[in-house]
Amino acid sequence: MTQARHLTVAEGQQAFYHCVARCVRRAWLCGIDPITGVDYEHRKPMIASRIVQLAGIFAVYVYSYAVMSNHLHVVLSIEPTAARNWSDEEIARRWVQLFPAREAEQNTAKIAALCADKAALKARRDRLTDLSWFMRCLDEHIARKANAEDDVTGRFWEGRFKSQLLDDEAALAAAMAYVDLNPVRAGIADSIESSDHTSVQVRAEELRKDPSKADEPIQPIAGVRLGFDMLKDQAFARLAMSNRQYIELVDYTGRQLRPGKRGKIDEREPTALSKLGLDTNYWTAHVKGVGSGYWRFVASVEALEAKAAEWKRKWLKGIGYARSLVTG
């Protein structure tokens, strides 16, 4: 039995999610369509830029993303504290960035009008912390551009996006690695450095430009500029690993998922695993489970059982998989 989205997406609460949107049409979202031969590769940087742009408007942090041939992934956190601290003018300004006036010179008046309407302003403040609105502004933007380019109308996406609630630090790290390794797992990239239009490639390029950041704590790839001091009371606002350790972890995990694939680091277990308190076998299976083992909730056996009890259900998809990881 599937879970209603409102059970896993709580309004007004800080939480972490893995979201997936898939194309419904035969034509590729990006890349070269194997049937028609049409090349849509130019869409990938547009989509990646849109994800980063929205992260700077909504009260979210984006931790990882991957733009694939017929689907996209985003791992992000909703940060309602940010929106609550924004002034009315800041809320209005951000909303007008999403939905500008037809003429640029009318934007100032539109911001002023929104600031004067307290009910409308409250609705916009709520929407800037709404996962569905974030994905709507991402998917609709892409669909309109793709349909216009293809000179067609109609549905572009396969129903609503899929979302998974990430319960703890291990679930967040696993979802990030799963997303960042999508091109490697699909066989369209040999390494994280060649995984175009993924967040891990951006992280690797940033370290190549500035190696001094290698041992700094890993941070979101994009999003609101709160500063982590404002998030110190939240359960796992920041992963307990450095930039270097995360990249090593992703590289290592990719070689476990694709035996025989060459990597740039040796086969020793990454230090990030010990920080997460996990062994190699559990970790690799946990990452795989993000795509097929779990469903709406990525968590430990205990957390899944507690959530089932909270929802007054005897079973949740993913409990059996989580138990198999423990019993091995």
Which residues are within 8 A (CB) of 236 and not within 5 positions of it... i.e. 6 or more apart?
168, 169, 172
- For 265-283, b/e burial (b = at least 16 CB within 10 A) is eeeeebebbebbebeeebb
Percent of the chain, pLDDT > 70? 88
Q: What is the mean pLDDT of residues 43-62?
A: 93
Give the tens place of pLDDT for each residue, 144-201. 888 888 888 888 888 789 999 999 999 999 999 999 999 988 888 888 888 888 999 9
Task: pLDDT band for 119, please (50, 70, 90 cuts).
Answer: very high
pLDDT at position 318 over 60: yes
Helix, strand, coil share (%) of the chain residues, nearest 5: 50, 10, 40
Given pLDDT bands bounded at 50, 70 and 90, which one contains residue 6?
Answer: low
Per CATH, the number for 11-79+129-292 is 3.30.70.1290
Q: What's the token pair of residue 192? A: 């994280």
Residue 176 phi/psi, 5-degree rounding, is: -60, -45
Work out the burial of residue 258: count CB atoms within 10 Å of its CB; fewer than 13 is exposed, 13-18 middle, 19 or more buried.
middle
264-289, pLDDT tens digit by residue?
A: 444 567 888 888 888 888 999 999 99
- Residue 299 vs residue 255, higher pLDDT: 299
Domain residue extents for the chain: 11-79+129-292, 295-328
CA dihedral 139, 142, 145, 147 (to 10 degrees): -60
Residue 260 has pLDDT above 80, yes or no: no
* Averaged pLDDT of the chain: 86
Comparing CA positions, the residue from 224, 265, 217, 260 lying closest to residue 241 is 217
For residue 27, name the pLDDT band (cuts at 50, 70, 90). low
Three-state secondary structure call for residue 14 = coil
The CA distances from residue 134 to 145, 202, 229, 289, in Å, are 17, 22, 25, 25
Q: What is the pTM of this model?
A: 0.89
Tokens of 236: 């796992």
Residue 40, pLDDT above cutoff 90: no
Mean pLDDT calculated for residue range 87-106:
93
**Residue 102 reports pLDDT greater than 80:** yes
Identify the CA nearest to 218 among candidates 172, 266, 178.
172
The residue length of the chain stands at 328
Cβ count near 56 (within 10 Å):
14
